[in-house]
Amino acid sequence: MGIKDLLRFMKPYILPIHIQKYAGKRVGIDAYSWLHKGAYSCSMELCLDTDGKKKLRYIDYFMHRINLLQHYEIIPIVVLDGGHMPCKAATGDERQRKRKANFDAAMAKLKEGNVGAATELFQRAVSVTSSM
């Protein structure tokens, strides 16, 4: 679930560099972050659980980044979220409630024929699961 405002706090200490500088090193990858970003490209298909290759584009996104790291001789260490943590239950429940509300709104927009608005709402509704 991340650390609230971590990037904002770290911004003064972050220097932009080319990833090639990490050649020969191991880097930790937040797998759920990359899967979530990849899911934006096929959020409607994931939310509606449709069949087809388009539904799996999140894998292409993820693997493209893994391949990019490997191209620069960087060893990716893929980190997945651990088990259920009771102390995060309230946050998880709230996120699930918001995803459900966005899904319902997306379905309404889809029925109206407003695919653009529906797609945006599906992007907010999509959930990265352990089966992904």
Contacts of 71 (CB under 8 A, 6+ apart): none
Domain ranges of the chain: 21-81+88-125
Distance, CA of 87 to CA of 78 (rounded, Å):
24
Q: What is the pLDDT of residue 86?
A: 80
Distance, CA of 60 to CA of 62 (rounded, Å):
5
Q: What is the pLDDT of residue 43?
A: 95
Q: What is the pLDDT of residue 92?
A: 81
Q: How many helices (H) and strands (E) does the chain have?
A: 6, 2
What pLDDT tens digit does each residue of the chain (132 aa) get?
567 888 899 999 999 999 999 999 999 999 999 999 999 999 999 999 888 888 899 999 999 999 999 999 999 999 987 677 787 778 888 999 999 999 999 999 999 999 999 999 999 999 988 888
Q: What is the pLDDT of residue 129?
A: 85
Q: What is the pLDDT of residue 3?
A: 76
Q: Judge contact between 65 and 34, C-beta under 8 A.
A: yes
Q: What is the pLDDT of residue 1?
A: 54
CATH classification of 21-81+88-125, choosing from 3.40.50.300, 3.40.50.1010, 1.10.640.10, 3.40.50.720?
Answer: 3.40.50.1010
- Report the predicted TM-score, pTM, of the whole model to 2 decimal places: 0.81
Distance, CA of 27 to CA of 122 (rounded, Å):
31
The one-letter amino acid code at 131 reads S
